[in-house]
A and B are shown apart, each in its own frame.
Chain A
Amino acid sequence: MAESKDEAPARPDWLPAGCEMLADGAYDAIIMGTGLKEAVISGLLSTKGMKVLHVDRNSWYGGDCASLNLTNLYGKFRAGADPPPSLGHPTRDYNVDLIPKFIMACGNLVKMLLLTKVTRYLEFKNVDGSYVYKQGKILKVPATPDEALRSSLMGLFEKRRFRKFLIWISNYEEDKPATYEGLDLKVLSMRQVYEHYGLDENTQSFIGHAMALQRDETYLNLPALDAVKSIQLYCYSLERYGKSPYIYPMYGLGGLPEGFSRLCAVHGGTFMLQCPVEEILFDGEGKAWGIKATIDGVPQVAKAPIVVGDPSYFPKEKVRCYGRVVRSICILDHPIPNTADAESTQIIIPGRQVGRTEDIYVCMVSFSHNVAAAGKYIAIASTTVETADPISELAPAFEMIGPVLERFDAVSEAFEPVGSGAADSCYVSASYDATSHFETTSQDILDLYERITGSKLSLEINADTTEADD
């Protein structure tokens, strides 16, 4: 915190009496929280030439979507208890995600990584397999016409129908009516498309939940275009690396916000971890104009016309709770049974299979991603809460995962902003939902970016996007 003492800059007139300047004082944007959404936004604003101050109350990057070492994990879930030495090194061996998600290989987050060149700070692995739960069994999701023919998920005739459906999906192009084969996806519902191909309810269930990644059954009655595009994204992503449509960064998801934070810093952004933000400052018209934090007993203030942050930094009236998510982090000394000893895997339990509405997700990664000690695996089960006993809702997942060395449960309220930010200059991101991939997260980032800048972020990847520039 060594600030130069040899120059005493004139005290700016906006600085409240009794306060010092926080960092450089005046910024174009202040970002609170270093979760992925905030980190992408600060990186993007900074590359646009805006002067960004990025603060976080924690001593680590990542906010709610950090990857924690054992010491920090126990600090969060088992206050006062030390991690047992049998698990491994307390600060070196583990990077446990708080929010479990995989990255769709051709999804919008990958486009953002390429566009910003943050990809050069990270290395990934293809997730070994994606599975779906059916009548007590875990079955691999077939997503190519060939795999479909070998799958034990359906009978012989259904396989042929499914294969036909997949071929149609892979040829479909929105701007080429010749590929429609008579199906107008803006008019027909997904249910009607399934019926057109004669697909039974079982097949519908795994297409909808394991491929189109719908969380419940509402999509069945909506125009089919969105669901078809989701299935295409799944198939293209699968083709990209071969084993599953998902990729996962070495050392855990926490590398993502760290990478985007670095992008921001490289373009001149100021970073302050362990910054105890205590207040957002509002003017007479209710517009946010700055933040206040007291450091070493000295109240400090920074100002900016744009104040961005995750819901935990804003007054209660700026956000509303839209649901609750239960997540359970399990440390294992074995892979999940019946997944061909995969070192990483995703399992989707369609809600209907276990008598509920919302799907249950299990994401498992392991030592092979440098997120756990040798021979250890991390499986995280999550779902949107439907009952008064959220942990019990994950029972089908626990049964599948098998014996655990340690389990850490958390039920979090999920918040979303009340306003767009236009009226109060408060640009609030939404909490992370229970989905097992980053597509909704990316959508929220795009939405936040548009609210802040007034323009849409183009995700067109140009040929020069990854050329070295320095």
Chain B
Amino acid sequence: MSRVCHFKLVLLGDTAVGKSCLVVRFVRNEFFEFQEPTIGAAFLTQTVGLDDATVKFEIWDTAGQERYRSLAPMYYRGAAAAIVVYDVTNKDSFNGAKSWVKELQRRGDPNVVIALAGNKADLEGRRQVHFEEAHAYAEENGIIHMETSAKSALNVKSIFVEIAKRLPKAGAQPEREAFPIMPPRRDKKAGGCC
């Protein structure tokens, strides 16, 4: 069995471009036409198997805090990868995506792996953002680019696999002394600690 590497992945992008839908498709293989704005599920995990390792993504959704550009530093912190999503039927959202990439370069880890996802690619008739334009932008900035559809599942898995391939597996995750708080074990002292 290959090694399991954990990575934090964050989603970015304007409101209603389909960030949550992409994740729900990737993690649960489900799609809802009228997905509520992100509520209640902002910490999902999913693994991608590669030849040499298994990559486990801890996926952080914006939980709507992108609406007024009020994402906390905590959101960017320690993110090894980010998917910046735009809606191919909405030109503004592509401009938004470019500014999210900038924000990420400013606030995130300098080595963060970025993927640009042109979502809603199934709505060809309403397209406003051309593949070539977005692709040129991505190449200029050295980031992954794919058009995706959470509805048809097009490229959803592929974009995560592509990110997984680019993440540094060798020597990753240095030993950490910091720990998460766990609930105390129920033991002898009822009514004692915690």
Query: Are A124's CB and B178's CB within 8 A?
Result: yes
B contacts with A, residue count (CB < 8 A): 41
Question: Among the listed B16, B44, B73, B192, which residue makes an inter-chain contact with A236, where contact means beta carbons less than 8 Å apart?
Answer: B192
Interface residues of A in 142-194 (CB under 8 A from B): 173-175
Query: Are B69's CB and A273's CB within 8 A?
Result: yes
- Tell me the minimal C-beta distance from B133 to chain A in angstroms: 20
Query: How far is it, in angstroms, between the C-alpha of A273 and the C-alpha of B72 when the chains are bound?
Result: 10
Interface residues of B in 157-194 (CB under 8 A from A): 176-184, 186, 189, 191-194
- Closest A residue to B45 by CB, please name it: A468
Query: Are A272's CB and B68's CB within 8 A?
Result: yes
Using Cβ atoms and an 8 Å threshold, which residues of chain A touch B148? none
Residue A38 interfacial (CB < 8 Å): no
Query: How far is it, in angstroms, between the C-alpha of A415 and the C-alpha of B5 when the chains are bound?
Result: 48
Using Cβ atoms and an 8 Å threshold, which residues of chain B touch A254? 73
Query: Are B15's CB and A2's CB within 8 A?
Result: yes
Q: Known interface pairs A114-B183, A247-B181, A470-B40. Does A258 touch B74 (Cβ–Cβ under 8 Å)?
A: yes
A-B residue pairs in contact (CB < 8 Å), sample of 6: A175-B191, A255-B74, A259-B74, A262-B74, A267-B40, A461-B194
Using Cβ atoms and an 8 Å threshold, which residues of chain B touch A106? 184, 193-194
Question: Among the listed A23, A61, A91, A250, which residue makes an inter-chain contact with B72, where contact means beta carbons less than 8 Å apart?
Answer: A61
Residue A312 interfacial (CB < 8 Å): no
Query: Are B192's CB and A470's CB within 8 A?
Result: no
Residue B48 interfacial (CB < 8 Å): no
A interface bracket (residues with beta carbon within 8 Å of B) = 35 or more
Query: Are B63's CB and A266's CB within 8 A?
Result: yes
Residue A412 interfacial (CB < 8 Å): no
Residue A111 interfacial (CB < 8 Å): yes
Query: Are A124's CB and B181's CB within 8 A?
Result: yes
Query: How far is it, in angstroms, between the C-alpha of A188 and the C-alpha of B43 when the chains are bound?
Result: 50
Residue B136 interfacial (CB < 8 Å): no
- Closest A residue to B93 by CB, please name it: A2
Query: Are A470's CB and B44's CB within 8 A?
Result: yes
Residue A125 interfacial (CB < 8 Å): yes
- Tell me the minimal C-beta distance from A108 to chain B in angstroms: 10
Q: Known interface pairs A111-B194, A258-B74, A470-B41. Does A123 touch B180 (Cβ–Cβ under 8 Å)?
A: yes
Query: How far is it, in angstroms, between the C-alpha of A271 and the C-alpha of B42 when the chains are bound?
Result: 15
Query: Are A268's CB and B39's CB within 8 A?
Result: yes
Using Cβ atoms and an 8 Å threshold, which residues of chain A touch B176? 123
Residue B52 interfacial (CB < 8 Å): no
- Tell me the minimal C-beta distance from B168 to chain A in angstroms: 20
Using Cβ atoms and an 8 Å threshold, which residues of chain B touch A333? none
A2-B15, A266-B42 given; name 19 further pairs at CB < 8 Å.
A106-B184, A106-B193, A114-B183, A119-B181, A122-B181, A123-B178, A123-B180, A125-B178, A236-B192, A240-B184, A265-B63, A266-B40, A266-B63, A268-B39, A272-B68, A273-B69, A463-B183, A463-B186, A470-B43
Q: Known interface pairs A106-B193, A251-B77, A272-B68. Does A113 touch B63 (Cβ–Cβ under 8 Å)?
A: no
- Tell me the minimal C-beta distance from B69 to chain A in angstroms: 7
Q: Known interface pairs A124-B179, A125-B177, A470-B40. Does A270 touch B67 (Cβ–Cβ under 8 Å)?
A: yes
- Tell me the minimal C-beta distance from B109 to chain A in angstroms: 9
Query: Are A461's CB and B70's CB within 8 A?
Result: no
Query: Are A2's CB and B63's CB within 8 A?
Result: no
Using Cβ atoms and an 8 Å threshold, which residues of chain A touch B181? 110, 113-114, 119, 122, 124, 247
Residue B14 interfacial (CB < 8 Å): yes
- Tell me the minimal C-beta distance from A250 to chain B in angstroms: 5
Residue A261 interfacial (CB < 8 Å): yes
Interface residues of A in 424-470 (CB under 8 A from B): 461, 463, 465-466, 470
Residue A237 interfacial (CB < 8 Å): yes
Using Cβ atoms and an 8 Å threshold, which residues of chain B touch A272? 68, 70
Q: Known interface pairs A2-B15, A470-B44. Does A271 touch B180 (Cβ–Cβ under 8 Å)?
A: no
Residue B92 interfacial (CB < 8 Å): yes
Using Cβ atoms and an 8 Å threshold, which residues of chain A touch B152? none
Residue A20 interfacial (CB < 8 Å): no
The residue among B44, B63, B64, B72 with the most chain A CB atoms within 10 A of its own CB is B72
Using Cβ atoms and an 8 Å threshold, which residues of chain A touch B44? 470
- Closest B residue to A95 by CB, please name it: B73
Query: How far is it, in angstroms, between the C-alpha of A268 and the C-alpha of B41 when the chains are bound?
Result: 10
Residue A1 interfacial (CB < 8 Å): yes
- Tell me the minimal C-beta distance from A340 to chain B in angstroms: 17
Query: How far is it, in angstroms, between the C-alpha of A224 and the C-alpha of B131 when the chains are bound?
Result: 73
Q: Known interface pairs A240-B184, A470-B44. Does A258 touch B178 (Cβ–Cβ under 8 Å)?
A: no
Using Cβ atoms and an 8 Å threshold, which residues of chain A touch B68? 1, 23, 270-273, 275
Residue B65 interfacial (CB < 8 Å): yes
Residue A78 interfacial (CB < 8 Å): no
Q: Mark A1-17, 1 if CB is under 8 A from B, else 0.
A: 11010000000000000
Query: Are B194's CB and A262's CB within 8 A?
Result: no
Q: Mark B42-79, 1 if CB is under 8 A from A, else 0.
A: 11100000000000000000011101111011110100
Query: Are B63's CB and A236's CB within 8 A?
Result: no
- Closest B residue to A262 by CB, please name it: B63
Query: Are A2's CB and B14's CB within 8 A?
Result: yes
